[in-house]
Structure 1
Amino acid sequence: MEVVVVGAGISGLCSGAMLAAEGIRVTVLESSSRVGGRTASTRYKGHILDNGFHIMPFYKTSAVYGVFKRLGILDRLDLARVDRIAFYKDGFHVYPRGLGGMISTSLVPVRSRIRLLRMLLPMAFSSYERAEKLDPVPLSSVTGGLDAVTGSFFDAVCMLAFADRPDNISLGEFTRTMIRANPFKGGTSEFAYPNVGGYDEISRILAEYITEKGGTVRLSTPVSRVHVESGRVAGITAGEFHECGCVVVSSPAYLAVTRLFEGGTFDDSIMERAKKLDKTTSVVEAHFCLSERMDARQIVFPVGEYSAKGIFFISNITPNVSPEGEHLVMAGTPVSAADADSPSRVAEVVGEMKEDIESIYPGFSGSLLWEKAKSWRFVESVAKGPGMVWKDKMPHTTNVKGLFFVGDATVSYGIGTDSAAHSSLLCHPKILGFLSNVVHGAEIRSKAG
């Protein structure tokens, strides 16, 4: 049986590649003209600009890395380590690698480190079962009583791990992050980025693998309808009707259940679950091209009342993102939806971030060759808020046989691309089980006939 995958982002391509590796005929349909989904990059004046800043969290223990290892194509993924990270507050402070680094960081007053230890140590040595019970609780419930300096430090840690503030982050998800970063439990705090530049290199390699295994990846092919008859997938419409009995949807769940399916297709519980995930956060980001290298570090997180919550020296991670002699920097900050939708407000926020960078790196403005600003919204799929993580997300299966949902909005831990890949890994056995039952049932019917 053919499997049709809707969407050529990380999750759709991970699912497609793992199915193709099993010898299953796969067709991936993508509405855009390129693969990558929300990680798609663009070229501008010779530079590779990512749609947001993406890194592979937890490096060799990440879900993305695990998919490549499973497929036997790790040698195709040339990764640059992202480990020169610092915080800035009245000077630079080394990024705390792991729990020990957090406790000894120069950013936190000595008197506050014991309190941090008491708070973080139980998390790092907790279990996923215990963390799950904390999913409805906001992280701010345990960080709200920190002193101002330590609170600012914790805000910066949350920007690094979640691109958000503690009150928008589930305590359960933060606990899982601590577990995954704990070396005593097999974790790591390392990060990585494709050395060729552009985080969508990961998707490009996966798409290439699918075609090598006999599958198809069709771009500029939007799916307008997934057809369901008598509780089973019957086919899809992508310009014309295409019969198939198994569909994997990787587009945002709360959009897909209404845009791709007729009303009444799903149980009320599924519709309520998907609707709950309809939550967005917004960011303003700006790419800056410089004639001078401002810093040898790769990432700097300003601590305190800065508009720029993260400064990413992309060409320090890999020079392949920029022409020789030019340097690419990106800065970003969370904003309200109203700010993201207002061009004048976006311009003001970018101006404030430039002032921040100039205060940290005098000479920045004089070295600026060009800038490119953008505002955009994270869809529900990167929501990490209380009650919206891990098993509170969209389930992989519904009441429709032959239909599967994957993506970072779907049952999985982590955020962004790692969550998307983890969702595909969790869903893969379910898809194989369905396909096996279909084949087995066909054999039985054939023998009976």
Structure 2
Amino acid sequence: MGKTTVIIGAGVGGLTTGALLSKQGHIVRILEKLSKLGGRTASMKYRNHILDNGFHIMPFYKKSAIFSVLKEIGIQDRLKLAKVDDIAFHSDSGFHKYPKGMIDLLQLSLIPFKSRIILLKLLLPMAFSSIEKTEEWDDKSLTEITKNLDPDTNAFFEAVCMLAFADTADHISLGEFARTIIRANPFKGGTSEFAYPDDGGYDSISRVLGDYIIENNGTIETNHSVQKIIIENSKVIGIIENDGTFFKSDCVVVSYPAYVALNQLFDENTIDRKFIEKINRLDKKTAVVEVHFALSSKIDSRQVVFPVGDNYTTKGIFFISNITPSVSPDGEHLIIAGTPVEPSVADDSVKIKEIVEKMKDEISSIYPEFNSSLLWERPMAWKLVESVVKEPGMVWKSKMPHEIPGIEGLFFVGDSTISYGIGTDSAAHSSILCTPKIQSFLKS
């Protein structure tokens, strides 16, 4: 138990792994190149509002992989969560309530009743499938079962994909979509609930995990990068830190995208080139344009609204201060609107500006008081690496393995490794799957 396990990266994958190992009495040292914890879930303070790097929610609430980790280590009460359950669609015909379960589909006013029956017949078999069965559908696109549906029902699928995957249906694996439906089925032990930290800022999760690790004799060092992982005779012997220092460790965990790590952290010929090329295929990016808006008045009491239909550029409007008022100062309200785009758009300031203006026009058409209430706006465009967790042919067990065959003491966690779910929950699920392998190695 006296040896130190080095974890590279303090995102959700690294922190959940560190916490689970700490629970078992192992000593961990986490090195994070940035100045704060959280990775892509980092938050910031801007004009007295708490802004997330994108909009994140904890899917399936207390059935999520993240919450499972918190419960496993006994600190679930430290993270106060606000439920995200007041969700609606908006179409040309007005607002429509978002269905929380299968039976709610019968009351789904967004689509004709006949289409609701068809939808129910389509989703019910998925909801009662096994995870093993869904693996047979991993190479198929969701659109294989939606392409012949009417436009209104297709619009429903697009809205669901926005909530669950932050992407369009043509980018989603049918297998991953089915697993999402299973995890939301209460008859299979699931739930359709979502949550967000009540104190504001999704990186509250990272802070809670980080505190636990430090309390259990672990260390977390920010502004601290790793130059290289040293392997001799097919075994990890340590790392070279950013200042050239060698730190001895026979167990190293990489918790950021494997296709980046494999090309940066190892001497040439240490890892088989064909293996690296296979993992490099996971480097497929999606992108999003999102805008935070601060308002002087509360223009809606709902928490999330999905504009549906091809006439809307805006694919999601998230009323953050309706979920928890703690993100904003008194008298002000915070919303974020977003839409997926091609990766090239994220580098084009002219196109970003055009998209932002369209989104503002659309929001003002839904909420006439939007323009007069607007205090400031903060656009951002960023590329994601999350396509590997949802794209056909690259989900679940087709991702980076937790270990490279033939190399002892080297492990990989995060949403680019074997796991299911999306984003932060996928990263936590990866840790749940990988940690027993790390523990077994450390005990041996």
TM interval, short-chain normalised: over 0.9
How far, CA to CA, are the matches of 2:386 and 2:336 in structure 1? 24
Q: Secondary structure at the residue paired with 1:138?
A: coil
**Structure 2: distance between partners of 1:297 and 1:38:** 26
Counterpart of 2:145 in structure 1: which amino acid?
A: V
- 1:71 aligned partner: 73
Establish whether residue 272 from structure 1 lines up as the match of residue 277 from structure 2.
Answer: yes
Shift of 1:381: 6.2
1:193-272 matches, cutoff 5 A:
193-238=196-241, 239=243, 240-272=245-277
Deviation at 1:234, TM superposition (A): 1.2
Deviation at 1:27, TM superposition (A): 0.2
Q: 1:316 aligns with which of 317, 322, 325?
A: 322
The AA in structure 2 aligned to 1:425 is: I
Task: Give how far 1:270 is off.
Answer: 2.9
* Residue number in structure 2 paired with 1:406: 413
Find the counterpart in structure 2 of residue 447 from structure 1.
none
**Aligned to 2:54, what secondary structure does the other structure show?**
coil
Give the alignment of 1:354-373 within 5 angstroms. 354-373=360-379
Q: Tell me if the contact between 2:289 and 2:338 (Cα under 8 Å) persists in the aligned partners.
A: yes
C-alpha RMSD of matched pairs (Å):
1.0
- What amino acid is the match of 1:51? N
Match of 1:325 in 2: 331
2:84 is aligned to 82
Q: Which of 401-410 and 107-116 deviates more?
A: 107-116
1:2-51 residue CA offsets vs partner (Å, 9 max, x unmatched): 10000000010000011111111100000000000000001100000000
Distance across 1 between alignment mates of 2:35 and 2:325? 26
Letter in 1 for 2:378: K
| Structure 1 residue 416 displacement after superposition | 0.6
- Which ranges in structure 1 are unaligned for 5 or more consecutive residues? 438-449
Correspondence for 1:149 among 142, 148, 152: 152
Partner of 2:10: 8
| Letter of the 1:428 counterpart | T
What corresponds to 1:432 in structure 2? 439
Q: Determine the C-alpha separation between the residues in 1 that align with 2:323 and 2:387.
A: 27
Contact kept, 8 Å, 2:262 with 2:276, in 1: the verdict is yes
1:60 aligned to which of 59, 62, 65: 62
The unaligned stretches of length 5 or more in structure 2 are none
The 5-angstrom pairing of residues 35-50 of structure 1 reads 35-50=37-52
The answer as to 2:303 corresponding to 1:298 is yes
Q: Does 1:340 align with 2:340?
A: no
| SS at structure 2 position matched to 1:173 | helix
CA distance in 1, matches of 2:168, 2:264: 31
> Is the counterpart of residue 396 in structure 1 residue 398 in structure 2?
no
Q: Distance in 2 between matches of 1:292 and 1:115?
A: 41
Once the two structures are TM-superposed, the CA of residue 60 in structure 1 deviates from its matched residue by 0.8
Mapped to 1, the partners of 2:73 and 2:383 lie a distance apart of 32
Residue 282 of structure 1 aligns with which residue?
A: 287
Structure 1 position 379, deviation (Å): 1.4
- How far apart, CA to CA, are the structure 1 residues paired with 2:356 and 2:237? 49
Distance in 2 (CA, whole Å) between partners of 1:102 and 1:351 is 34
CA distance in structure 1 between the aligned counterparts of 2:358 and 2:388, rounded to whole angstroms: 26
1:411 match: secondary structure: coil
Residue 110 of structure 1 aligns with which residue?
113
> How far apart, CA to CA, are the structure 2 residues paired with 1:411 and 1:104?
37
Distance (whole Å) between structure 1 residues aligned to residue 275 and residue 86 of structure 2 = 43
Say if 1:30 and 1:218, in contact at 8 Å, map to a contact too. Answer: yes
| AA of the residue aligned to 2:280 | K
Note the C-alpha offset of 1:346. 0.6
Q: What amino acid is the match of 1:38? A: R
How far apart, CA to CA, are the structure 1 residues paired with 2:230 and 2:418? 24
* In 2: Cα distance, 1:99 partner to 1:272 partner: 42
**Which secondary structure does the structure 2 equivalent of 1:306 belong to?**
coil
Q: CA deviation at 1:337?
A: 1.5
For 2:299, the aligned partner's letter is M
What is the distance in 1 between the residues matched to 2:181 and 2:105?
A: 11
Q: Do the aligned partners of 1:395 and 1:410 also contact (CA within 8 Å) in 2?
A: yes
Give 1:198 deviation, angstroms: 0.3
Distance 2:340 2:231 in 1: 40
Deviation of 1:380 (Å): 4.7
Q: Which residue of 2 aligns with 1:185?
A: 188
SS in 1 for 2:25: coil
Q: Check whether the contact 1:381–1:409 (CA below 8 A) recurs between aligned residues.
A: no
| Counterpart residue identity of residue 286, structure 1 | V
Using a 3 Å threshold, how does the CA distance of structure 1 residues 50 and 271 change in structure 2: closer, same or farther? same
Distance 1:70 1:295 in 2: 38
* 1:114 counterpart letter in structure 2: I
Counterparts of 1:100 and 1:414, CA distance in 2: 24
Instruction: Write out per-residue CA displacement over residues 340-380 of structure 1, whole angstroms, 9 at most, x where no aligned residue.
Output: 11011111101100011000000101110000000000115
